[in-house]
Structure 1
């Protein structure tokens, strides 16, 4: 029987608080199902670590993480250090060095959660975001700093291979789930070179999937359609920046970032994949047990599915849906007055009832 080795990085701010609930859920599953063997190792690689050591993780940090089956990540960000440091010294090295080129973000309206919009039906779609290159590439620089003629150049990196492997993953998902249309987020009418290659690469993959339509949608119009008819989407393929923005907008339509999980996937399994909530470290409420742990717990459900335990993932999702629908132990972001650990405890209780 295989043991699932999970690296746990709680992070900053509310990260440790919501992570405690995610870990609690995983332990409850392991206790209830003897076939689910679990070994979790926690790493306090966060802003405190940076202030003490001058770096976000040890020099051999990636080598250490490579030996795990998955990475369970919290949230990063601390007012004592510049915002780009945690991103470019911890999150990005993991995503890029571990070739986690698919960023999967579910946008799903749970029972009992009202969207701020009037819609014709429930909102339930996936954003497949390119996660290894695109607009978030550390290529460029600044010249003549602090001078009137200062120049900043930030390069976008789009490769045919990078786009096609993401598109293939999204179209495979669409075919498995009987989705008949994939929306391609683009802006090739104005960004003619990088987005031109993006469109061509997506369409080359779409040609391999007869019966699945690909619809090009300019990013500005697509943002408007999110507001006008979000229930009409099922699968969206987007670049790093476009996917980031669209998925946050989508989260706002289904209850906010507290209900927004994500998966950073290396589909081939050559490296561990990473699972984390979309929200940040929220330092204004850190330590108050006011944060919503559902995004972290939902990220655990995505991790379970990736590890081959769709059965346990379904148990977690049913528990989340039951707790949200009952509206008895919800955190302040969902107009409740429960504390973080109380929401987690209720989800665990629902899990035990199912198992």
Structure 2
């Protein structure tokens, strides 16, 4: 099969090469079609996304991307936002769990964040009323709320999850977040075997840093989902272990959600774990569940052993050495 690979900016090319090597070691048979996108490409070409990229994603239906930066103050819209809206990848899925060998304050985190991906304040509807007043529109629709809530409950049912929690601020934003919460409760009634509750966003943030194990699946509108995704990544060691999938009806785009780390780009220092974990999510959705499980197990075992790991988790290995260590485990 064919899939699009977007290395992106900074360390993107190095960690994308890790994906290529691991994909070959697993004999996935994936034919990668590579396209440039991001701030570095924009500096060369004046365009943020290389010609043919969007057509290739539409034709393949599958894509994996590294970190991309957006030039500031030059009128470009975020690549992530463009891709999500262009392909209607309405669900952003972020699994977060404790990794043995990565020192954190918690050792029992196992959460999944389901973020609505297409509307809310990220719709980008902003305008100036006058020179001193800017206005942004928080767009929430029932169809989008229903779709993301049903996705969360279907995911919970399929993956043996026991509880889905709606994240909101309906006590203040009674119409917009109120619509989200009402729709959540309507959908929840169709899944009686799954516990459904809700939590106000600020209270949720406090509870997550006190006792994260009390949560299972969190479903949220776009902005709240973005915030709590990074917060939850911090509970397990940071964005270096945060894979993500953007899921639509006909297109799926997987990504490492960390930044492009230009300060270490080209120095063989990057940790490729997040993009490899995103690749494992992709393999799982392709039906290659054994290969996905094998890759995840290899990453976990390598990190837990702690001998050949990158500097961000206390080691001295480079990107290439860490990748080869993973590949060696895949051969066992």
Task: Report the TM-score, using the length of structure 2 for normalisation.
Answer: 0.95
Deviation of residue 330 (structure 1)?
1.3
CA-based RMSD of the aligned residues comes to 1.7
1:64 has 2:56 as partner: yes
Q: Cα 1:17–1:69, aligned 2, differ >3 Å: closer, same or farther? A: same
Gap regions ≥5 residues in structure 1: 31-35
Q: Which residue of 2 aligns with 1:73?
A: 65
Deviation of residue 61 (structure 1)?
3.6
Residue 270 of structure 2 contacts residue 319 of structure 2 at CA under 8 Å; is this kept in 1? yes
Deviation of residue 214 (structure 1)?
1.3
Deviations 1:137-158 (A, max 9, x none): 12122244xxxx4221111111
Structure-1 separation of matches of 2:303 and 2:123: 38
Residue 183 of structure 1 contacts residue 216 of structure 1 at CA under 8 Å; is this kept in 2? yes
Structure-1 separation of matches of 2:278 and 2:114: 15
Q: Which residue of 2 aligns with 1:82?
A: 72
Gap regions ≥5 residues in structure 2: none
Higher mean C-alpha deviation, range 14-23 or range 51-60: 51-60
Q: Which residue of 1 aligns with 2:100?
A: 111
1:273 has 2:271 as partner: no
Deviation of residue 107 (structure 1)?
0.7
2:123 is paired with a residue whose SS is coil
Structure-2 separation of matches of 1:22 and 1:60: 22
Structure-2 separation of matches of 1:11 and 1:83: 19
1:96-245 to structure 2, matched below 5 A, reads: 96-117=85-106, 122-144=108-130, 149-245=131-227
Deviations 1:47-92 (A, max 9, x none): 23212332212465422321113111000126xx317866x25322
1:352 has 2:328 as partner: no
1:126 is paired with a residue whose SS is strand
2:255 is paired with a residue whose SS is strand
Deviation of residue 163 (structure 1)?
1.1
Deviations 1:322-341 (A, max 9, x none): 10111011111111111111
1:67 is paired with a residue whose SS is helix
Structure-1 separation of matches of 2:322 and 2:3: 23
Q: Cα 1:41–1:83, aligned 2, differ >3 Å: closer, same or farther? A: farther
1:284 is paired with a residue whose SS is coil
Query: Between Structure 1 and Structure 2, how many residues are aligned?
Result: 332
Hey, which bits of structure 1, 4+ residues long, moved more than 3 A? 58-61, 83-86
